[in-house]
Structure 1
Amino acid sequence: MTELPADLERLCVDFVRHLRLERNLSEHTVRAYRGDVTSLLGHVVDCGGVEATAVDLRMLRSWLAMQHGAGASRATLARRAASARALTSWAHTAGRIAHDPGPRLSAPSPRRRLPVVLRPADAEVALGAAGAGAAQADPVALRDHAVVEVLYATGVRVAELCGLDLDDVDRQARLLRVSGKGGRERVVPFGLPADRALEAWLSSGRGHLLTSASSAALFLGARGGRINQRSVRRVVHEVLRATPGVPDTGPHGLRHSAATHLLEGGADLRSVQELLGHATLSTTQFYTHVTVERLKAIHDRTHPRS
């Protein structure tokens, strides 16, 4: 890895501090930004630059061209361009560079694949099967049923689910308090099936996994600590794979399914945006493309002159 001169090293360190403390981004997101920016600044050094002022439009374009030549995908190029624009915007605002070249930097838009979306009937069958397994009162089965019910009922992200504590659940009002991206909190409702699954887990399952390491976590792993994202993904895949005819997807697929089913049921975009915790409405609008594509598929299968 190219060693950065003092000015560029300070630029990187201060930018990462800005992301972590001022923008309050998750550690995962901060790591991604830091990796992209370190690559960019290493390219600046390889091209003879030693100060922040060397990060100009020509340098940004040559860095992306090098990435493209190395076989980077459209999605990777788009992400790295976004990281570069975030860096130059902050550096300009902080007075580290005189002009912000970021708005003039273009990159190919990533091709967005339509997510795997369960049909409502598929979700009903899969969650019903998970509930039947939980009827044996095995603590892990009770937890797994509650996990998939809550994911589908609320559309929360897997990290948000893992971060839930006991006092984040208001079962009387059937509401969850969720801490989302950027530390933004929102309140999300859930229905009776999820409430019944939570009741079974809390009354008959959680106590059997409880240890001194459990703290106030709502969902526990097999060893008693807070459940992690890998375990939740495994749970979702196992539940869906155990149901014949149901597409295999992960927690994000359940989130996509929840959003799509809300829109197909008549919910407005603004309400779905609030439920999912999207910062902008344009992110939520992607789900309208999902419903349109499904409508087209139904038309192609069923219309005599499709």
Structure 2
Amino acid sequence: MEKYLEDFIYHLAMERGLAENTLVSYRTDLTGYILFCRKQGLASLAEADRDTVLSYLYKLQMDGRSPATISRQLAALRSFYRYTVREGRLQADPTGELDSPKSPQKLPRVLTVEEVDLLLGQPEISESTGIRDKAMLEVLYATGIRVSELVSLNLEQAHIKNGFIRCFGKGGKERLVPLGDVAARFLQEYLARGRSKLIRPEGAQALFVNQHGRRLTRQGFWKIIKKYARKAMITKEITPHTLRHSFATHLLENGADIRSVQEMLGHADISTTQIYTHLTRNKLKEIYNRSHPRA
């Protein structure tokens, strides 16, 4: 990360001829971002994604930084990522979808408990792909793991009898996450009568495989969850992280402590987890305004 930063600063100085004070500002802003990534357990810029950038900007907001400062930080990140992608060192720019400095203030979109039940009830479990989809959705909501972690799971990482899964998050950090009885039951059913019909030699290690018997991809899962959201007539925008956000929010709404949620989500910094407490506070306000006679 530091090498990319030095090359970028050199580019700004030599090719764009920026003033020394401007270079110092860029270096300071981007060094703060790199330190944040390190604390998140990221070993390289390639591991950072849109949520990483949003979490960093949200942290700046929680630290009391002004909107102007956050806007400047986002502008620096955009320039840095565009340069790095243009030089062929990264394939994607995680700031590309951030339309304005106000974007970091947007809270994660979550489903209600009723919407989750509706979504998870859509797969046709009599079919091999249906029981696979049901197991994946149940595991994702029961554990809150990232979609990338879900599709990376190998067979030996699911400890169904003991009620947990072992996954590797950003930076290769290992964690154990409780599975829950419902998810464990459907995962067991998938292994018994779904995976055996789908598996091919090239996908032998993968827990979840596609209809060709190879490891399911993140993009493949996104298509699956979009399909079931349409089937359930859920009008909210669904992303690969929707069930992860819903998992965290529902736990906090029902009294889970934030440190436990942080550990289950695999967040290195609790400031990343604290965004969900803001969601629960908003819900409490809604309940109060709806229920109190003098609200």
| TM-score, structure 2 normalization | 0.70
Greater gyration radius: 1
SS in 2 for 1:251: coil
Moved more, 222-231 or 121-130: 121-130
- What is the aligned partner in structure 1 of residue 54 from structure 2? none
Q: What is aligned with 2:210?
A: 221
CA contact (8 A) 1:164 1:218 kept: yes
Question: Runs of 5+ in structure 1 lacking a partner?
Answer: 1-11, 17-33, 66-72, 84-107
Match of 2:15 in 1: 46
Q: Does 1:163 align with 2:152?
A: yes
Alignment of 1:197-276 (within 5 A): 197-245=186-234, 247-276=236-265
Q: Do the aligned residues in 2 keep the contact of 1:155 with 1:259 (CA within 8 Å)? A: yes
Partners of 2:8 and 2:80 within 8 A in 1:
no
Deviation by residue 1:199-230 (Cα, 9 ceiling, x = unmatched) = 12111111122112103010112222111110
Cα 1:223/1:75, change in 2 over 3 Å: farther
1: distance between equivalents of 2:215 and 2:182?
23
SS at match of 1:297: helix
Change (3 A) 1:74 1:43: closer
Is 2:110 aligned against 1:112?
no
Give the fraction of aligned pairs with identical amino acids, expressed as a percent.
39
Compared CA separation, residues 200 and 62, structure 1 to 2 (3 A): closer
- Counterpart of 2:113 in structure 1: which amino acid? P
What's the TM-score, normalizing by structure 1? 0.68
State the partner residue of 1:285.
274
Structural RMSD (CA):
3.1
Deviation at 1:244, TM superposition (A): 3.0
Identify which of structures 1 and 2 has the higher relative contact order when contacts are C-alpha pairs closer than 8 Å and 6+ apart.
2
What is the number of equivalent residue pairs in this alignment? 236
Query: 2:182 matched to which residue of 1?
Result: 193
Residue deviations 1:101-143 (CA, integer Å, cap 9, x gap):
xxxxxxx79633111111112212221233xx11x2x221111
How far residue 167 of structure 1 moved from its aligned partner, in angstroms, is 0.4
Residue pair 1:74, 1:109 contacting (<8 A) in 2 also: no
Distance 1:121 1:74, change over 3 A: farther
Partners of 1:40 and 1:110 lie apart in 2 by 26
Structure 2: 5+ residue stretches without partners: 30-70, 82-100
Change over 3 Å in CA distance of 1:259–1:78 after alignment to 2: farther
Residue matched to 2:23: 59
Q: Given residue 200 of structure 2, which amino acid in structure 1 is its aligned partner?
A: T
Aligned AA for 1:42?
Answer: H
